[in-house]
Amino acid sequence: MVTAFMFQSHAYQSDADLAAIAQLINTCHITDELENRTSVTNLQESFTHPQFDATCDLRLWRDGEGDLVAAAGLWRRPPETEVLGRLEFEIHPQVRGQGLENDIIAWAEQRLQEIGKELALPIVLHSGCRNSLQARQSLLVRSGFSPERYFFRLQRSLYDPIPAPKLPAGWKIRSVDSQKDAEAWVELFNQSFVDHWNHQPITLEAFHYYRRFSTYDANLDLVIETQAGQLVTFCASKIDPEQNVRLGLKEGHVCLLGTRRGYRRLGLARSLLSESLQRLKAVGMDISTIGVDAQNPLGALALYESVGFQKVRSSTVFCKRLAP
């Protein structure tokens, strides 16, 4: 039986690793019957996130032949009241259960503890997966994690009738101007999500980072503006053409939807979501998906179901609190 000491780990070194990482992830997703795939372009964009240092937060494992068999990334948020990291990892199906799982979790814990050792703050490690991956969930529980939060992915046919947007007189729906609207959009996002679980304030740097993605489309990056010029609701959707081609789909995904305090319960989110669905349909999509926190305090699940979305799968985020 092969054991973990027969694998060698090393830090991410350069973009030369990207093709092997993408192949590993896609191989794992096929085995696990997950429909999403990745590409070198997707990974390049992901690894340049302002709060991700690929040289420290990405770890690779190779077998005796030098082939990549595992990869792990630790996504950290700026420490305020706690040192929090989210662990994502993939292990080639042929070497699962041979010790790499323990090595990966130990690496993530050590990395977080290194960051938090001088901050005197609680250290928290998150890791999540779909509920269909029972072996992964059992591994996390055996490793000291506990279920923390539950999420649904919902889906809707765009052939079904889409409600017409309704706005107060003088208000309008428009695309975001990434230069003129940057500060106002960041303030809107932070005001809208401040009472959500695990909220992390977005920065101007992150705002511009996401709008450099290859899948970004300003026509799907929308806001509602009042007659006085205030931005009160936002909705951002995307289409991944590469993934749609690989899977034979015409699918668009609603990534973000929110309304600032003081303007909720006015039907604004419903109206902007409807506009986003109409725009996805207008460019040839026939399916839309959206994710939701099952315990969302503002009734997001009921809103999505009211415009025709239905649950198609669920996932769980697990949490482990570490000693400093």
Q: Give, as one character, the DSSP assignment of residue 66.
A: S
Enclosing H/E stretch for 239: strand 231-239
Residue 258: strand, helix, or coil: strand
CATH of domain 154-316: 3.40.630.30
Counts of helices then strands in the chain (DSSP H, E):
10, 12
Say which residues have a Cβ less than 8 Å from residue 219's Cβ, sequence separation at least 6.
175, 279, 283
Weakly modelled stretches of the chain, pLDDT under 70: 1-5
Q: Where are the alpha helices (DSSP H) in 194-234?
A: 204-210
How far apart, in whole angstroms, are the C-alpha atoms of residue 293 and residue 297? 9
Cβ pair 211, 238 in contact under 8 A = no
CATH for the 4-144 domain, from 3.30.360.10, 3.40.50.300, 3.40.50.20, 3.40.630.30: 3.40.630.30
Alpha carbon distances (Å) from 8 to 3, 67, 71, 235: 11, 10, 12, 44
**21-55 burial string, b = 16+ CB within 10 Å, else e?**
bbebbbebeeeeebeebbbeebbebbbebeeeebe
Grouping H, G, I as helix, E, B as strand and the rest as coil, residue 91 is strand
SS3 87: strand
Under a CB-based contact definition with an 8 Å cutoff, are residues 29 and 36 in contact?
A: yes
**Per-residue pLDDT, 12:** 94
How many other C-beta atoms are found inside a 10 Å radius of the C-beta of residue 135?
12
Question: Are 4-144 and 154-316 equal in CATH topology?
Answer: yes
pLDDT for residue 3: 47
What pLDDT score does 4 carry? 55
- Which residue type sits at 269? A
Q: Would you say 233 and 263 are in contact if contact means Cβ atoms under 8 Å apart?
A: yes
Burial of 134 (0-12, 13-18, 19+ CB in 10 A): exposed
176 close to 218: Cβ distance less than 8 angstroms: yes
- The per-residue pLDDT for 5 is 62
- Distance in angstroms (rounded) separating the CA atoms of residues 99 and 164: 54
Tell me the C-alpha distance between 227 and 195, whole Å: 26
* 0.95 exceeded by pTM: no
What end-to-end distance do the CA atoms of the chain give, in Å?
A: 35
Query: pLDDT digits over 70-79, tens only?
Result: 999 999 988 8
Alpha helices in 199-321 (DSSP H): 204-210, 241-247, 268-282, 300-306
- Beta strand residue intervals within 12-160, DSSP E: 58-62, 68-76, 83-91, 123-130, 146-157
3-class state of residue 314 by DSSP: strand
Domain boundaries defined on the chain: 4-144, 154-316
The neighbour count for residue 168, using CB atoms within 10 Å, is 11
